[in-house]
Amino acid sequence: MIDKVKVSEIAKAFGNITSKEIVAVLKENGITEKNLTTLSEKELNFVFEYYTQKNQVEDFSAMFAVPEVPVEKKAKAKKEEAVEEVPVSDEPIGEVEVETRKVRVVDTRVNDVDLDRIDNEQLEELVPEHIKENKKKDKNANKNNKKGKQPKNVENFDKLVKKEKKAEVLTVLVPDEITVGDLAERMKVSPAELIKRLMLLGTMATVNEVLDFDTASLIVEDMGHTVEHEIIVTEEDKLFNDVEDTPEQLKDRSPVVVVMGHVDHGKTSILDVIRNSNVTEGEFGGITQHIGAYRVRVNDHKITFLDTPGHEAFTAMRARGALVTDIAILVVAADDGIMPQTIEAINHAKAAGVSIIVAINKMDKEAANPDLVKQQLTEHGLVPEEWGGDVICVPVSAKKNQNIDKLLEMVLLVAEMKELKANPDRPGKGTVIEAQLDKGRGPVATLLVQNGTVRVGDIIVAGTTVGRVRAMIDDKGKSIKKAGPCVPVEILGLSDVPEGGDVFHVVNDERKARQVVEARKFKAKQEEQMRKNTVSLDNLFDKIEEGKMKELGIIVKADVQGSVEAVRQSLERITNEEVRVNVIHGAVGAINESDVMLASASNAIIVGFNVRPTPGAVSSAEDAEVDIRLYRVIYDAIEDIEAALKGMLAPKFKEVVLGHVEIRTTFKVSGVGTIGGAYVTDGKIQRNSSVRVVRDGIVIHEGLLGSLKRFKDDAKEVAQGYECGVSIDKFNDIKDGDVIEAYIMEEVKPD
């Protein structure tokens, strides 16, 4: 067993390779998955074997070359070769002593036959019988030809040539979609012949039937032709000219880092130390109120930070921040450990496909327990390096400025391994981080340039907006003339406020840019009119049948953690051959806007168990057409999803929420029970409605409305904005602040 050897020493020994190349070779061949600095005996043996094979000598003939013999000695040598015998050695080739032994090289590949020594009769005997017969036929054909007759085999040859011309192989251009008639024309065959061939392959089609690329390719290849994918270039493609950069054009770029984690765990404090500025005190309540982008210098390198808010109300911003980043720093307080928003941050980072570095903050506190944090991380699929995983964990203290430099070193190390590159010498392209309408300056957008360079005066298309850059301000508030890759800037000059997350392009033709924007607006209106292609339990089976659904994502929210795990395990067991059920997020508490946003981004549905959605979540779900399913019994949820997978979901009744009533005060009446003095916050409440009592987002009771009064009189219904008195049948534990949700069950008529 040998001691571990440094990768850098091996690279130096080979001379013409780098440490990064050795690590890449080991990863590509499945020897390791981690970034190594030292090599074990197994890894070292593989490296030597790999580079020995790679650099092996193709031809050893030079080693055993025989000096050229003068012309006058060749004749003598030829005679000697006829009688001389060369002894055969059993020694390995590497031990042959070339200079001390006579070596004769004989070329055995050429057979020299002296035909002069064989007479004609012997040659005739060597000719096969069928060759002799063919020769006789050829002689007869030549005789007939002299008499002016056309030989029969010549006519057959002409027919064969014509047939070959008909059966020539074509290169057929096939777009993503093509009609049967168009495909037949491109293949130079009749539509009837093509339809017949499609029927033989099991596809019934008419002449105007549209075929996808895979089906069209199959039929073209089946008929003996070659397929070439036809790429249809749109006006947008021509305008943006988004061609791939060559390796020579690419240059190293800075990493873009997002800082995520639970509120008050110290995200902004860490950035405050890094920037040497005091942002925390200037922000209300210590909570970051908007997405801020900061560019800092670390030694000879630069890092761009996106400081995303940690509070639940800003979860949508956090998701947009994660989409444009390379590395996520997950801040976890050493004394608090993993919290609900930490889990959300982990799921968002995983969904965005970014590398995660964990900063275990507040190590200066007595209650700090980094090992507990690492244990909790493993429960969510993040295994620390020191425990055999690939997640870097750095214990830090923003308050004491401890280990912040090491955290930045780890960021640069991960960035180096990712080999981040961009081409600054092309028109700019990137993402809109945030945008708003400023009363004095008009539409203002914060952009992150991801490739190319943006300059003042450039024409920019971002989503459904277009404009010319009038001014650019960097993260320090200074006006700048240009911004390259990974530089965050605030720009003025757009015609409207773009959406956060929109991709922007710098273009040359303003007229065409406005045409593209108008086309996008028209398409957006059409999409609004058409039903969105989102997944719900009602259309799940159809999606599976169409082949569009391979995985059903589910977000689980429940009243207690035990229920979350029980629902998760029960739902994931429903997986069948056609679709896999994947619970992408599970947490305790009411269904909020963050859950809806994650469901929309992941094309998932939300299952609530003993919880209710917040008003904001209901509104967001309606806008995004996210399916929210609420249950009181776990078996109902399982049965619904099982039925959806089998295509048997046919609900007979639908819940219609009438309105919400907030309990402002309570008083007890003998013989009646607890009466709630209430205010209708939205909708209305009816005497015959079913109700549920919601306390802090958790459903604590579900039943019927006992009584509804307006002043002293019984009321049939009370509308929004009016006060009323309510009692719940068989339930007296009403408290101030409770929300009474009134609803009725409506029968759904079959289509």
Alpha-helix runs per DSSP H in 501-656: 510-529, 540-546, 561-572, 593-602, 615-624, 634-646
Question: Do residues 569 and 708 lie in contact, with contact meaning Cβ atoms separated by under 8 Å?
Answer: no
Listed range (38-47, 131-140, 301-310, 603-612) with the worst mean pLDDT: 131-140
The pLDDT confidence band at residue 533, using thresholds 50, 70 and 90, is low
CATH for the 654-747 domain, from 2.40.30.10, 3.40.1280.10, 3.90.1150.10, 3.10.450.50: 2.40.30.10
The pLDDT confidence band at residue 540, using thresholds 50, 70 and 90, is low
CATH for the 540-651 domain, from 3.10.150.10, 3.40.1160.10, 3.30.2130.10, 3.40.50.10050: 3.40.50.10050
Signed CA dihedral, 546, 552, 555, 559: sign only: positive
Mean pLDDT of the residues in the chain = 77
Question: What is the rounded distance in angstroms from the CA atom of residue 609 to the CA atom of residue 594?
Answer: 17
**Which amino acid, one-letter code, is at 279?**
V
Boundaries of every domain in the chain: 1-86, 172-229, 251-422, 435-525, 540-651, 654-747
Distances in Å between the alpha carbon of 100 and those of 91, 95, 103, 435, 575?
A: 15, 12, 9, 85, 76
Instruction: Print the SS3 string covering 91-142.
Output: CCHHHCCCCCCCCCCCCCCCCCCCHHHCCHHHHHHHCCHHHHHHHHHHHHHH
Architecture of domain 251-422: 3-Layer(aba) Sandwich (3.40)
605 — alpha (psi -120 to 50), left (phi > 0) or beta?
A: beta
The answer, yes or no, to whether residue 627 has pLDDT greater than 80, is: yes
pLDDT at residue number 719 = 92
Q: Which of 397, 390, 449 is nearest to 414 (CA)?
A: 390
Both tokens of 105, joined, read: 């090289």
Both tokens of 496, joined, read: 């409207």
Q: Whole-prediction pTM value?
A: 0.49
Q: What is the pLDDT of residues 98-123, one digit of tens each?
A: 454 444 544 444 444 454 544 555 54
Both tokens of 622, joined, read: 């309606």
pLDDT at residue number 537 = 64
* 435-525 has CATH 2.40.30.10 classification: yes
Q: Which of 660, 670, 657, 665 is nearest to 734 (CA)?
A: 665
Question: Do residues 380 and 346 lie in contact, with contact meaning Cβ atoms separated by under 8 Å?
Answer: yes
Distances in Å between the alpha carbon of 605 and those of 93, 242, 670?
A: 70, 35, 46
Question: What is the rounded distance in angstroms from the CA atom of residue 147 to the CA atom of residue 149?
Answer: 6
The pLDDT confidence band at residue 138, using thresholds 50, 70 and 90, is low
Question: What is the rounded distance in angstroms from the CA atom of residue 237 to the CA atom of residue 243?
Answer: 9
pLDDT at residue number 332 = 92
Provide the 3-class DSSP secondary structure of residue 321: helix
Higher pLDDT, 663 or 60: 663
Question: Do residues 613 and 628 lie in contact, with contact meaning Cβ atoms separated by under 8 Å?
Answer: yes
The answer, yes or no, to whether residue 443 has pLDDT greater than 70, is: yes
The answer, yes or no, to whether residue 448 has pLDDT greater than 60, is: yes
Instruction: Print the SS3 string covering 483-546.
Output: ECCCCEEEEEEECCCCCCCCEEEEECCHHHHHHHHHHHHHHHHHHHHCCCCCCCCCCHHHHHHH
- φ, ψ dihedrals at 459, nearest 5°: -90, 130
The pLDDT confidence band at residue 583, using thresholds 50, 70 and 90, is confident
Listed range (265-269, 401-405, 539-543, 712-716) with the worst mean pLDDT: 539-543
Higher pLDDT, 5 or 148: 5
Question: How many other CB atoms are there within 10 angstroms of residue 437's CB atom?
Answer: 10
Question: Do residues 609 and 555 lie in contact, with contact meaning Cβ atoms separated by under 8 Å?
Answer: no
The pLDDT confidence band at residue 580, using thresholds 50, 70 and 90, is confident
Q: What is the pLDDT of residues 678-709, one digit of tens each?
A: 999 999 999 888 999 999 889 999 999 988 99
**Which amino acid, one-letter code, is at 420?**
L
Question: What is the rounded distance in angstroms from the CA atom of residue 354 to the CA atom of residue 145?
Answer: 81
Q: What is the pLDDT of residues 165-222, one digit of tens each?
A: 455 788 888 888 888 888 888 888 888 888 888 887 777 778 888 888 888 888 888 8
Question: Do residues 485 and 422 lie in contact, with contact meaning Cβ atoms separated by under 8 Å?
Answer: yes
The answer, yes or no, to whether residue 558 has pLDDT greater than 50, is: yes
**Identical fold between 251-422 and 540-651:** yes
The answer, yes or no, to whether residue 450 has pLDDT greater than 50, is: yes
Q: Which of 644, 592, 590, 641 is nearest to 621 (CA)?
A: 592
pLDDT at residue number 72 = 52
Q: What is the pLDDT of residues 363-405, one digit of tens each?
A: 988 888 999 999 999 988 899 988 888 899 999 998 888 889 8
The topology (CATH level 3) of 172-229 is Arc Repressor Mutant, subunit A (1.10.10)
